[in-house]
Amino acid sequence: MRIGKQEQAYTAIATSDDESITVRGYDLCNDLIGKIDFTDYFWLLVLGERPSREQRAMMDACLVAIAEHGLVPSVQAARMTLAAGPDAWQGAMAAGLLGMGSVVAGSSETAGLYLVEVLDKAQADGTDLETAAIESLKALKAARKKVPGLGHPQHSAGDPRADRLLEIADELGISGKHIETLRLLAKHAPGIINRPLPINVSGAIPATILDAGWPAEAMKAVPLLARAAGLSAHLFEESARSIGFIMSHKADLAISYDGPAAASKQHKPA
């Protein structure tokens, strides 16, 4: 994106006049409200066109799969922020969303870009996908890097969410090159990396919706939207029965200080 002077001052998303509101070419009140569900509207807002039945079903499944993930750091940040400022839901929500990086939730974007990279490399080199996947895995091992979209600390035998999403993609008939690439990576990764590396949900989400037609450039929008729903649940519960300060207190108990002693304590008289 160019910084500085910009010549095209336009948006294709929405406009309004005295009598109507237009969103992506549809009259908001007459064409959309009460006539379209939110997943359809999300797709329409981002891509400018309504999804097919298969695209809607796949996106729905991905949003449900990633919405709630327990007391992960982003949720703890949101709940403790609300405990400290009960009137600031927007601040607490922002705290939770800002905590979604390359390790938690944002990993779907990383995995999606990796799948695109492997596919592009295969095409550029004129080789088959399996060869490209194997070469990529060997390069990651040599660089001592993790394989995006594979492995899980708890579900070492296989992430059930990932398995279900891939199953849905197969049922909907949308499984394509991205899912094929992911499955090839999962096939060869254990032997190359020398440890169990099942497909995780952060790999299944981008593979399935990329094959459904969602752009890699908008991948992060999916976990952000989904987790906003999960954060809403945690913030509502936090407002009713707060655990924010309990978590803070538990952290104090769990973490020991190993820095230097205060100077006044180091030189006590005998």
Higher pLDDT, 206 or 154: 206
End-of-domain residue from the set 172, 194, 218: 218
**140 pLDDT higher than 90:** yes
Which tokens hold the place of 161?
Answer: 């969410």
Beta strands in 26-167, from DSSP E residues, in sequence order: 26-27
The whole-number pLDDT of residue 104 equals: 72
Considering the domain boundaries, does residue 5 fall inside one? no
Higher pLDDT among residues 158 and 66, named by residue: 66
Q: For residue 80, is it within any domain? A: no
What does the CA dihedral 88, 240, 238, 65 come to, rounded to 10 degrees?
Answer: -110
Better pLDDT: 159 or 104:
159
Residue 176 in domain: yes
CA distances from 85 to 78, 237, 239 (A): 10, 15, 10
| Secondary structure (DSSP) of 105-125 | TTHHHHHHHHHHHHHHHHHHH
Residue 232 has a pLDDT of 97
pLDDT of residue 267: 61
Contact 60, 225 (CB under 8 A): no
How many folded domains does the chain comprise?
2
| Same domain, residue pair 121 and 201 | yes
- The answer to which of 51-65, 89-103, 116-130 has the lowest mean pLDDT is 89-103
Stretch 77-103: mean pLDDT: 91
* SS3 assignment, position 23: strand
Q: Is the pLDDT of residue 188 over 60?
A: yes
Residue that finishes a domain, picked among 218, 240, 262: 218
pLDDT at 223: 94
Task: Give the domain range for residue 204.
Answer: 107-218
Q: In terms of residues, how long is the chain? A: 270
More confident residue, 5 or 76: 76
Domain presence at residue 208: yes
Predicted confidence at residue 241, as pLDDT, reads 94
- Domain shared by 37 and 112, yes or no: no
Residue 246 covered by a domain: no
